[in-house]
Structure 1
Amino acid sequence: MIEHEVPAPRPLLRRPEDGELIDVAGVAHFFRLTGEHTGGRFAFEEFTLEAGIVGARPHVHAEHDEYFYVLEGELTLHNGDGEVTVGPGHLLSAVRGTPHGFRNAGTGTARALCLYTPAGYEGYFRDVHAAVAAGAEVTDELLAEFRARYRTASH
């Protein structure tokens, strides 16, 4: 290969165990793809939350879209008009500027996928996780500070 040529992109196959696990406030975020893998185009995660856990109170993103797809259990989703409880196969599209949130109001574990486009919001989860690992308590103020860094506001 000539020195100035850039190699052609190659497909990336991820095994089931490949990913970055980030546990934040009772939600296990398993990022299968991050911006580092996709050139910043998108991030892809599988997340799990036990009964009674609030994944995210209603909020709005200014710079990325999120798509939630329920795999197992039930999620109670805030869809801008209120809450709706849904099961496997349901998809919520939360494009930038639309209020959304999720929690597990059911009695069993919920598992879902989330796609972020463009990538970058995985940094929010890394930052919160690092702060907690360093001894910070998860408070509304702490979360608001980190959300602001990623152009996200409570709704």
Structure 2
Amino acid sequence: MSQDRFLLLEPEQVRPGRVPMPPAFAVKAMTSDTEGRFSLLEVVLARPIQRHIHQSADECIYVLEGELGVEFDDRDYTVGKGGFTLLPKGVPHALRPVSTPPPRVLQISSPGGWEHYLEDLFEAGPAVLTDGRLDPAKINPIAAAYDIRYEERP
């Protein structure tokens, strides 16, 4: 019954997951909350997210504060407060903070699963880093389970 899935979160409240998330990744609706249709996170994008492609999920981003840089299909855009972007599956894209402080966004993935991918990354810890930065070659084995692939540049 849909009433059984009602969810109400107070400000600063997050959905608990398998692995604790850093404060920059606040899960508001888990995939299990939406019967798999989507996941919703409030994210502070403090570091760039390298060019990657989602084979199965569309990604939607609504900017709450700041400015977000979006590279989509080899074009660059800046999305400001109140702006929105839909990043359809199958097209390479990258994200980066443009403003100081960094942008705070709502991020929806459909179908869901993004929060579980992040849990797997945080659980892997330093094993996915090279010189303190996320390493696509080390991330890709984890990302593959979620139909995500990061570009590996020499």
Q: For residue 129 of structure 1, report the CA deviation from its aligned partner.
A: 0.3
What is the percent sequence identity of the aligned residues?
A: 31
Instruction: Flag the structure with higher helix content.
Output: 2
Q: Could you report, residue by residue, the CA deviation over 1:10-32 in whole angstroms, capped at 9, with x for unpaired residues?
A: 12222223314623xxx821110
Q: Given the superposition, is the C-alpha separation of residues 137 and 64 from structure 1 closer, same or farther in structure 2, using an over 3 Å criterion?
A: closer
**1:136 counterpart = 2:131:** no
Secondary structure at the residue paired with 2:107? strand
Q: Give the partner amino acid of 2:112.
A: A
Secondary structure at the residue paired with 1:84? strand
Q: For residue 41 of structure 1, report the CA deviation from its aligned partner.
A: 1.3
2:116 to 118, 123, 134: 123
Q: What runs of 5+ residues in structure 1 fail to find an aligned partner?
A: 1-7
**1:19 counterpart = 2:4:** no
How many residues in Structure 1 have an aligned counterpart in Structure 2?
Answer: 140
Secondary structure at the residue paired with 1:30? strand
Q: Give the partner amino acid of 1:119.
A: G
**1:146 counterpart = 2:146:** no
Q: For residue 141 of structure 1, report the CA deviation from its aligned partner.
A: 1.9
Structure 1 counterpart of 2:132: none
Stretch deviating more after TM superposition (62-71 or 74-83): 74-83
Stretch deviating more after TM superposition (119-128 or 27-36): 27-36
1:88 to 70, 78, 81: 81
Stretch deviating more after TM superposition (60-69 or 102-111): 102-111
Secondary structure at the residue paired with 1:18? coil
Distance 2:14 2:84 in 1: 23
TM-score for both structures, normalised by structure 2: 0.81
Distance 1:79 1:113 in 2: 18
Q: What runs of 5+ residues in structure 2 fail to find an aligned partner?
A: 130-134
Which is higher, the Rg of structure 1 or of structure 2? 1
Q: Could you report, residue by residue, the CA deviation over 1:59-109 in whole angstroms, capped at 9, with x for unpaired residues?
A: 111111110111101111112132222211111101211222211133322
Secondary structure at the residue paired with 2:60? strand
